[in-house]
């Protein structure tokens, strides 16, 4: 399998993980002592006598797969290999692949963009849920709210502006009623609306393109769309869209997301 050539050796993966978590010198994640001895695949602290492994004090503590398989699984996720192909590639069950893909997604850093200059704002509808999303025109910057209601109302649209759009922005929307007069609630430099009934579509073309990409992404990678996971999927999609560099290599993802979880002594 040609993909396997991209997977580093177990020794190399452990070296990467060790460096991310401990820097140059290994220490005990429980008491901080540097008197640590290695035995077999684990470590033991000579001060507090606790045993640990590279993953044991991180959010990956229940990762029991061999390191190379773990890397292949993470590589599949970062490269957006669909669930079913990943299952074949890794020889893991679909349940396991879904479990870890969901965990990788859940540990993406929290990011909030405040949009400015020209912002296109629009809604997309799913079963029992709606997505309100803004895109800064010409930039890879998105902000969104997932609303577990069949439709978006004006209150939610104004809340979105309060939290995610800088005062003095130029706002472009379609002609939906929820945006009518919205400039009275938030200081906008201008508010332009397309009237779809008059075949005007240019003001929201970028954000509508993003919605199309989102739907294709979820269908292709996850094969299903469950509205209860909408927030998670959207978050992953937005990260891929605005920070593609994080997905170039499993190592970059781990550098951003992996750290020692403080333990109570």
Sign of CA dihedral 155, 158, 162, 165: positive
The residues, ordered by sequence, that sit 6+ positions from 228 with a Cβ below 8 Å of its Cβ are none
Output the smallest distance, CB 60 to Zn ion, in A. 20
Compare residues 37 and 195 and give the one whose CB is closer to Zn ion. 37
Q: Residue 259, Cα to own-chain centre: how many angstroms?
A: 17
- Among 33, 61, 151, 163, interactor with Zn ion by CB under 5 A: 33
Q: Is position 28 an interface residue for Zn ion (rule: CB under 5 A)?
A: yes
Q: Residue 50, Cα to own-chain centre: how many angstroms?
A: 34
Output the smallest distance, CB 52 to Zn ion, in A. 8
- Among 30, 73, 130, 142, interactor with Zn ion by CB under 5 A: 30
- Among 31, 103, 139, 258, interactor with Zn ion by CB under 5 A: 31
Output the smallest distance, CB 28 to Zn ion, in A. 3
Q: Residue 27, Cα to own-chain centre: how many angstroms?
A: 30
Backbone angles phi, psi at 237, to 5 degrees: -60, -45
Q: Is position 251 an interface residue for Zn ion (rule: CB under 5 A)?
A: no
Q: Is position 4 an interface residue for Zn ion (rule: CB under 5 A)?
A: no
Query: Whole-angstrom distance between the N-terminal and C-terminal Cα of the chain?
Result: 46
Output the smallest distance, CB 23 to Zn ion, in A. 17
Which of 71, 107, 104, 103 has the alpha carbon at shortest distance from 90?
A: 71
- Among 13, 20, 45, 97, interactor with Zn ion by CB under 5 A: 45
| Residue numbers at the binding site for Zn ion (CB under 5 A) | 28, 30-31, 33, 45, 47-48
């Amino acid at each position: 399998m040609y993909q396997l050539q991209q997977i580093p050796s177990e020794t190399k993966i452990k070296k990467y993980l060790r460096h991310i978590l401990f820097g140059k010198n290994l220490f005990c994640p429980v008491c901080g002592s540097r008197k640590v001895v290695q035995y077999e695949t684990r470590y033991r602290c000579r001060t507090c006598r606790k045993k640990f492994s590279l993953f044991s004090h991180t959010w990956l503590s229940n990762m029991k797969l061999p390191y190379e398989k773990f890397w292949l699984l993470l590589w599949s996720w970062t490269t957006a290999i669909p669930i079913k192909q990943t299952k074949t590639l890794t020889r893991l069950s679909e349940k396991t692949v879904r479990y870890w893909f969901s965990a990788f997604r859940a540990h993406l850093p929290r990011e909030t963009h405040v949009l400015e200059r020209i912002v296109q704002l629009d809604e997309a509808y799913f079963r029992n849920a709606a997505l309100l999303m803004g895109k800064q025109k010409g930039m890879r910057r998105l902000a969104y709210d997932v609303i577990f209601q069949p439709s978006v109302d004006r209150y939610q649209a104004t809340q979105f502006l309060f939290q995610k759009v800088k005062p003095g922005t130029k706002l472009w929307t379609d002609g939906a009623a929820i945006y009518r007069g919205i400039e009275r609630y938030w200081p906008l430099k201008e508010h332009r609306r397309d009237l779809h009934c008059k075949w005007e579509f240019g003001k929201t073309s970028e954000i509508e393109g993003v919605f199309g990409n989102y739907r294709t992404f979820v269908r292709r990678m996850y094969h299903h769309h469950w509205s209860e996971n909408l927030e998670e999927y959207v978050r992953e999609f937005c990260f891929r869209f605005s920070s593609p560099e994080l997905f170039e290599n499993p190592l970059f993802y781990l550098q951003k997301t992996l750290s020692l979880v403080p333990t109570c002594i």
